[in-house]
């Protein structure tokens, strides 16, 4: 790992921390002002990272020095902004003190004459709260004060909730730092696309047999690219999703606060998210679902701000950034962002109606329209360049027909949607109880046939997958979330039916938010086919819904049972929470493919074996082929592979001694305007998957060696 590059990574994190203090609201009536500042800073940093990649890529200058310079420039601008804010706050304090001094003098004079002074201090006795001149110092002081208050006033239960969340986050950090990237999809397309960008110094598409390397939105991989260029490797890759997990906690707990939840409701929200196995596993992975969920959660908390006050330019920029980053990371996240934006827009129009405080006839509506256009413009600026490249390549912003028809639902009649929703729900709420799983799955399939739907219909089922599948095991790609999901479902029902019992002061906002979440889930089941790995596609919806669970659980704990009645519901809720904590601990201990103990432990498994925990039988085969190719002195190496094969190991094994990436070129291409390389133009060929496909592309006279999954071909010795 590059020492200089690592320092730049630290500088970028420092810039984020400083930016948080700069973007903290000045007025004190904002819910969760520090968390709002963190959300704004994350969005600003994310947009800067994306635009840096886009601009440098357009110039063909995606290099380590250029990226390092960009982050140092960002840090300089942020530090200058902080100094400017502190200077402005100092001037404001001086003016305030002068005003108060004059008022005190006037009051003294008035007392001497028996009358009022000419300028009594505003805000009643003691005046209003003074703005801080310290910026980040004030934020730090406030955080310490809140922590001290928590220590004095927290109950034993709140300590347990907070301790569990902190413990989960810290253990996830340990695993993220110790484990090498070993997610299956990352080996196929997440990480190879980063290597292609580094090798060519731009974002131009390349010939490939794996269309997902160029068609799947690359927002999370843009963040990985910064780490790759700065550090020279993938040692810090897992930290992107770990940070996204922190972002989900920050945004979701603020949503709970915005909906009227107190400290316990917010802690319950954080606890349920942190102990959900899917979240715990993805927080140490190079998958992308948690990143998308974090951006969507940022959009949610920003949209809720618009329910009570008119959006400022800063609000519009942040909401547009959240929308654009969600779209650039995983387009399915827009299924949640869309209803939230509609909720925000309706609220903004309501605030603009005549009679609303500060509204002027005609002006408010025009301002809302203009603000919406600004929001969409910001989102388009973030995601637009990628969509433009995809459109130019495939003639459609959503990519080739193969992609557009594989994941989205291809029939939308009510019966098909109902069957799809039931199958998705069955997989999401799966438990280790086999009789329950088999019984409910059988009922769903019989019900599907009763309404004329084949439960394995390819129009509502991804690829060749067969329903049902066990999903309870803690695997990062498929693990279910029955506890958090059930609590969120109950929270949504109660928020819609009896919101005043959960949040008396924010009942309207609670019902509106719950409606948006329910609409998002309905849209998901109407638009996305059931698939074996569908649970991870629901992470964004889970994070958005869990605040509803935290709120109703808190309301349940607030209720006092009648004399003589046992609090059965409370006892049951405590049992569920304890089970959730146990599930989180067991997930980190025994989850797959990264765990603390047992076979495959991050403490006892070698780097190379960790990378191949998904397919340990392939580890030696890749090394065997790479060793032979390197011994031949080959410089230009051809790739033969299929759509779901692993490419990333070649980028690791075939690097030069000084770490420079190899020249890997595809001998097949699914991009119509980007032909593959001529096999005669390469010095060696490496193959995965099919020996037959490999043999068809090897020039005559070359020697082919092939094992079960991996092979290579070399020209005759000259």
Looking at the fold, whether 558 and 423 belong to one and the same domain comes out as yes
Among 429, 438, 431, 433, which Cα is nearest to 467's?
Answer: 438
Mean pLDDT of 450-477: 96
Q: Which run of H or E residues covers position 638?
A: strand 636-640
- Our separate counts of H helices and E strands in the chain read 29, 5
Q: Domain total for the chain? A: 3
The CA distance from 221 to 304, in Å, is 29
Among 627, 536, 544, which Cα is nearest to 285's?
Answer: 536
| Range of lowest pLDDT (60-74, 260-274, 450-464, 648-662) | 648-662
Which residue do the tokens 């920029």 mark? Answer: 317
pLDDT in tens, 594-650: 999 999 999 999 999 999 999 999 999 999 999 999 999 999 999 999 999 999 999
Per-residue confidence at 117, pLDDT binned at 50, 70, 90?
Answer: very low
Q: Is residue 330 part of a domain?
A: no
Integer-rounded Cα Rg, in Å, for the chain is: 28
pLDDT in tens, 74-110: 999 999 999 998 887 666 656 666 666 666 665 555 5
pLDDT at 127: 38
Looking at the fold, whether 571 and 627 belong to one and the same domain comes out as no
Three-state DSSP at 595 gives: strand
Looking at the fold, whether 572 and 530 belong to one and the same domain comes out as yes
Mean pLDDT of 513-533: 97
The CA distance from 165 to 626, in Å, is 43
pLDDT at 564: 55
Q: Provide the terminal-to-terminal Cα distance of the chain, rounded to the nearest Å.
A: 39
Looking at the fold, whether 564 and 641 belong to one and the same domain comes out as no
The CA distance from 540 to 536, in Å, is 9
Mean pLDDT of 179-198: 97
Residues of the chain with pLDDT > 70, as a percent, come to 90
Looking at the fold, whether 20 and 82 belong to one and the same domain comes out as yes
Residue 72: CB atoms within 10 Å = 15
Residues of the chain with pLDDT > 90, as a percent, come to 82
pLDDT in tens, 548-559: 999 999 999 988
pLDDT in tens, 220-267: 999 999 999 999 999 999 999 999 999 999 999 999 999 999 999 999
The CA distance from 35 to 132, in Å, is 18
Phi first, then psi: give them for residue 593, nearest 5 degrees.
-105, 25
C-alpha angle 394/397/403, rounded to 5°?
A: 70
What secondary structure letter does DSSP report for 201? T
398: tokens are 């959503």
Rounded to 10 deg, the angle between the 539-558 and 568-590 helix axes is 140
Q: Is residue 569 part of a domain?
A: yes
What secondary structure letter does DSSP report for 180? P
Q: Count the residues in the chain.
A: 718
- H helices present in 559-677, as ranges: 568-590, 607-611, 619-631, 648-653
Q: Is residue 41 part of a domain?
A: yes
Three-state DSSP at 710 gives: strand
Q: Are 312 and 353 in contact (CB under 8 A)?
A: no
Q: Please determine, for residue 128, whether its predicted confidence score (pLDDT) is greater than 50.
A: no
Q: Is residue 76 part of a domain?
A: yes
Looking at the fold, whether 567 and 644 belong to one and the same domain comes out as no
Q: Is 362 left (phi over 0), alpha (psi -120 to 50) or beta?
A: left
Among 246, 323, 263, which Cα is nearest to 38's?
Answer: 246
Q: Is residue 634 part of a domain?
A: yes
Which residue do the tokens 């020039």 mark? Answer: 699
Among 195, 166, 167, 168, which Cα is nearest to 181's?
Answer: 195
Could you list the residue range(s) of the whole structural domain that residue 107 is in?
A: 1-120+133-153
- Pairs from 329-332 (Cβ < 8 Å, separation ≥ 24): 329/217, 329/219, 329/220, 329/288, 329/291, 329/292, 329/295, 330/217, 330/219, 330/288, 330/289, 330/291, 330/292, 330/540, 331/217, 331/398, 332/292, 332/524, 332/528, 332/537, 332/540
Three-state DSSP at 393 gives: helix
pLDDT in tens, 416-427: 999 999 999 999
- Mean pLDDT, the chain, whole residue set: 91
521: tokens are 């889930």
**Exposure class string for 684-713: b at 16+ Cβ within 10 A, else e:** bbbbbbbbebbeebbeeebeeebeebbbbb
- 3-state SS track over 44-103: HHHHHHHHHHHHHHHCCCCCHHHHHHHHHHHHHHHHHHHHHHHHHHHHHHHHHHHHHHHH
Q: Please determine, for residue 190, whether its predicted confidence score (pLDDT) is greater than 60.
A: yes
pLDDT at 90: 67
Domain end, chosen from 560, 581, 602, is at 581
Domain end, chosen from 581, 600, 626, is at 581
pLDDT in tens, 654-696: 998 877 889 999 999 999 999 999 999 999 999 999 999 999 9
Contacts of 327 (CB under 8 A, 6+ apart): 217, 219, 333, 334, 337, 379, 382, 383
CA 622 from chain centre, in angstroms, equals 32
Looking at the fold, whether 567 and 476 belong to one and the same domain comes out as yes
Looking at the fold, whether 472 and 516 belong to one and the same domain comes out as yes
The CA distance from 708 to 688, in Å, is 9
pLDDT in tens, 130-185: 444 445 555 566 667 888 888 899 999 999 999 999 999 999 999 999 999 999 99
Please list the residues that pair with 665 across neighbouring strands: 638
Rounded to 10 deg, the angle between the 238-258 and 289-305 helix axes is 30
Q: Is residue 30 part of a domain?
A: yes
pLDDT at 133: 43
Contacts of 59 (CB under 8 A, 6+ apart): none
Looking at the fold, whether 640 and 540 belong to one and the same domain comes out as no
pLDDT in tens, 11-40: 999 999 999 999 999 877 899 999 999 999
Among 519, 515, 472, which Cα is nearest to 491's?
Answer: 515
pLDDT in tens, 384-403: 999 999 999 999 999 999 88
Higher per-residue confidence, 568 vs 91:
568
The CA distance from 599 to 596, in Å, is 9
Q: Is residue 593 part of a domain?
A: no
Q: Please determine, for residue 540, whether its predicted confidence score (pLDDT) is greater than 70.
A: yes
Give, in order, the Cα–Cα distances in Å from 325 to each of 74, 320, 449, 641.
Answer: 19, 9, 41, 31
Domain end, chosen from 559, 581, 603, is at 581
Mode of pairing for the β-strands spanning 710-714 and 703-706 = antiparallel
Contacts of 103 (CB under 8 A, 6+ apart): 117, 119, 120, 121
Phi first, then psi: give them for residue 389, nearest 5 degrees.
-65, -40
Looking at the fold, whether 454 and 532 belong to one and the same domain comes out as yes
pLDDT at 144: 79
Q: Are 286 and 190 in contact (CB under 8 A)?
A: yes
What secondary structure letter does DSSP report for 530? B
pLDDT at 132: 45
Q: Is residue 499 part of a domain?
A: yes
Looking at the fold, whether 499 and 625 belong to one and the same domain comes out as no
The CA distance from 394 to 294, in Å, is 29
pLDDT at 567: 78
Looking at the fold, whether 462 and 539 belong to one and the same domain comes out as yes
Among 364, 370, 341, which Cα is nearest to 352's?
Answer: 364
Q: Are 68 and 230 in contact (CB under 8 A)?
A: yes
């Amino acid at each position: 790992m590059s020492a200089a590059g690592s320092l730049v990574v630290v500088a970028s994190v420092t810039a984020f921390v400083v930016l948080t203090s700069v973007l903290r609201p000045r007025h004190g009536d904002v819910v969760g002002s520090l968390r709002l500042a963190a959300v704004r800073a994350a969005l600003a940093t994310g947009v800067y990272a994306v635009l840096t990649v886009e601009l440098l890529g357009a110039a063909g200058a995606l290099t380590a020095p250029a990226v390092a310079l960009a982050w140092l420039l960002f840090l300089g601008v942020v530090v200058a902004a902080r100094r400017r804010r502190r200077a402005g706050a100092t001037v404001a304090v001086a003016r305030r003190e002068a005003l108060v001094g004059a008022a005190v003098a006037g009051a003294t004079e008035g007392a001497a004459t028996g009358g009022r002074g000419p300028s009594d201090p505003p805000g009643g006795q003691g005046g209003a709260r003074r703005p801080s001149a310290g910026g980040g110092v004030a934020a730090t002081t406030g955080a310490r004060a809140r922590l001290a208050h928590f220590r004095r006033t927290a109950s034993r239960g709140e300590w347990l909730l907070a301790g569990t969340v902190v413990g989960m986050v810290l253990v996830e950090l340990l695993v993220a730092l110790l484990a090498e990237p070993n997610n299956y999809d990352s080996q196929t397309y997440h990480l190879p696309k980063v290597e292609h960008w580094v090798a060519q110094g731009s974002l131009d598409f390349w010939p490939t047999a794996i269309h997902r390397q160029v068609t799947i939105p690359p927002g999370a991989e843009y963040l990985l690219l910064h780490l790759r260029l700065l550090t020279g490797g993938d040692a810090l890759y897992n930290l992107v999703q770990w940070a996204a997990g922190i972002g989900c906690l920050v945004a979701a707990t603020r949503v709970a606060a915005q909906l009227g939840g107190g400290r316990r409701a917010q802690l319950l929200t954080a606890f349920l998210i942190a102990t959900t196995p899917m979240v715990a596993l993805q927080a140490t992975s190079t998958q992308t679902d948690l990143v998308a969920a974090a951006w969507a959660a940022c959009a949610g908390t920003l949209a809720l701000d618009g329910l009570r006050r008119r959006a400022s330019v800063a609000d519009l920029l942040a909401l547009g950034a959240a929308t654009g980053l969600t779209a650039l990371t995983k387009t399915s996240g827009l299924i949640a962002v869309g209803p939230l934006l509609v909720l925000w827009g309706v609220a903004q129009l309501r605030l603009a109606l005549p009679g609303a405080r500060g509204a002027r006839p005609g002006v408010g509506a025009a301002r809302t329209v203009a603000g919406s256009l600004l929001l969409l413009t910001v989102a388009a600026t973030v995601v637009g360049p990628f969509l433009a490249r995809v459109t130019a390549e495939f003639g459609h912003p959503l990519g080739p027909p193969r992609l557009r028809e594989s994941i989205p639902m291809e029939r939308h009649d009510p019966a098909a949607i109902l069957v799809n929703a039931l199958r998705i729900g069955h997989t999401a709420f799966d438990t280790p109880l086999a009789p329950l799983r088999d019984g409910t799955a059988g009922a769903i399939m019989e019900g599907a046939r009763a309404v004329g739907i084949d439960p394995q219909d390819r129009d509502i089922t991804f690829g060749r997958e067969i329903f049902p599948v066990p999903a309870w095991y803690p695997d990062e790609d498929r693990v279910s979330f029955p506890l958090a999901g059930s609590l969120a479902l109950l929270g949504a029902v109660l928020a819609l039916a009896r919101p005043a019992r959960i949040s008396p002061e924010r009942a309207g906002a609670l019902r509106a938010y719950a409606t948006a979440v329910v609409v998002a889930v309905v849209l998901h089941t109407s638009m996305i086919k059931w698939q074996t790995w569908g649970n991870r596609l629901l992470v964004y919806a889970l994070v958005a819904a869990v605040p509803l669970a935290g709120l109703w659980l808190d309301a349940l704990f607030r209720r006092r049972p009648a004399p003589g009645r046992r609090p059965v519901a409370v006892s049951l809720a405590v049992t569920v929470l304890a089970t959730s904590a146990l599930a989180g601990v067991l997930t980190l201990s025994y989850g797959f493919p990264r765990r603390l103990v047992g076979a495959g432990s991050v403490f006892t498994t070698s780097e190379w074996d960790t990378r191949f925990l998904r397919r340990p039988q392939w580890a030696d085969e890749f090394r065997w082929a790479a060793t032979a190719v390197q011994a031949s002195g080959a410089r230009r190496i051809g790739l033969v592979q299929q759509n779901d094969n692993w490419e990333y190991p070649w980028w690791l094994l075939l690097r030069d001694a000084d770490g420079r990436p190899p020249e890997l070129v595809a001998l097949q291409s699914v991009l119509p305007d980007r032909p593959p390389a001529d096999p005669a133009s390469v010095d060696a060929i490496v193959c995965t998957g099919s020996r037959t496909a490999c043999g068809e592309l090897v020039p005559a006279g070359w020697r082919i060696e092939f094992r079960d999954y991996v092979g290579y071909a070399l020209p005759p010795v000259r």
